[in-house]
A and B are shown apart, each in its own frame.
Chain A
Amino acid sequence: ETGVTQTPRHLVMGMTNKKSLKCEQHLGHNAMYWYKQSAKKPLELMFVYNFKEQTENNSVPSRFSPECPNSSHLFLHLHTLQPEDSALYLCASSQDPGSGTDTQYFGPGTRLTVL
Chain B
Amino acid sequence: GQNIDQPTEMTATEGAIVQINCTYQTSGFNGLFWYQQHAGEAPTFLSYNVLDGLEEKGRFSSFLSRSKGYSYLLLKELQMKDSASYLCAVRDSNYQLIWGAGTKLIIKP
Contact = CB atoms under 8 A, between A and B. Distances in A.
Contacts of B35: 106
A40 B89 CA distance: 15
B42 to A, nearest CB: 4
Interface stretch (B13-21, B63-71, B74-82, B97-105): B97-105
A8 B30 CA distance: 34
B31 A100 contact: yes
A53 to B, nearest CB: 16
A104 interface: yes
A43 B42 contact: no
Contact of B100 (A42, A45, A101, A111): A42
B96 A105 contact: no
A25 B93 CA distance: 27
A107 B42 contact: yes
Contacts, number: 51
B41 A103 contact: no
Contacts of A103: 33, 45, 48
B42 A42 contact: no
B71 to A, nearest CB: 15
Contact of A101 (B31, B41, B43, B101): B31
A108 B43 CA distance: 8
A108 B101 contact: no
Interface of B: 4, 8, 30-31, 33, 35, 40-45, 48, 50, 87, 89, 91, 95-102
Interface of A: 2, 4, 40-43, 45, 90, 97-109, 111
